Each structure stands twice: as structure tokens, then as C-alpha cells.
Structure 1
């Protein structure tokens, strides 16, 4: 998950927590983006699936890296 997040979002993971959310284990990651914003991502700990993404101006997150976009995820 860590390497995929850094590759797909172009930032640096600054915090990781394993928590229980509605009875399910999830990894919560804070990611420092190249422009200084911090976003939070939540992954299902069992499957590795991204289940939540929070932060300011998320519509720009996949546009931070050249060639990045929905098709490259």
C-alpha cells in the first residue's frame, strides 16, 4: 500500500495508523503532497482497497504528476 500510494499520488507518507472503523480494520495514511497539502487516505486492511480520500482540492490530486490521471491509477 505504501509504495502504491507514493507512486500514484506523488507525495510522501508521513503517518500510518491501523484502526477499527465500523468493525473493519482500516489503514489510515496521511500523505504530504508536493504542493504542501496533507490528504488522508483510508484503505481496507484486508483487501488493500482505497475506501476513503479526504483533503482540500482533491480534484487536483491526480494532476500533480506529469501524465497522471484517472487512466493511470
Structure 2
């Protein structure tokens, strides 16, 4: 799977409630795929961890995606 662009997005799941997932996009902006598990912040330094956390904050500013609906769409 070729990933042209990705970001973190908040998704709502009937099992896990709200969580942050990685979402991958096609060049036209349509969703190509997504992580099936909630992700957690990470980095090899405090700066990298801080930068990753800032991307999580940006995810909170975007519309919430429906995990269950997307899972059905990609089956």
C-alpha cells in the first residue's frame, strides 16, 4: 500500500469509544487506509515527543471519523 499522505484523526468506535488513529490518504484526499488500533504518542527525544503531541492536538480540530463505518467500507 503506497501512502501519499497521513495524519492523526479522532475516530469513534462502538468498542473503544473515542481514540486517535493514523489515517492514510490517496492523492485525491480520499481515505486509503487507517490503523486498526489506537495509537500513542512517541519520539526518540523530548522534542520529537512534543512534536508528535502537537499533531494529536491538530487531530482534535478535525471532524470525528466513524471507525465502524470505515472498517465496513474497507472489508
TM-score, scaled to structure 2: 0.33
Structure 1 or 2: more helix by fraction: 2
Of structures 1 and 2, the one with the larger relative CO (CA 8 A, separation 6+) is: 2
Structure 1 or 2: more strand by fraction: 1
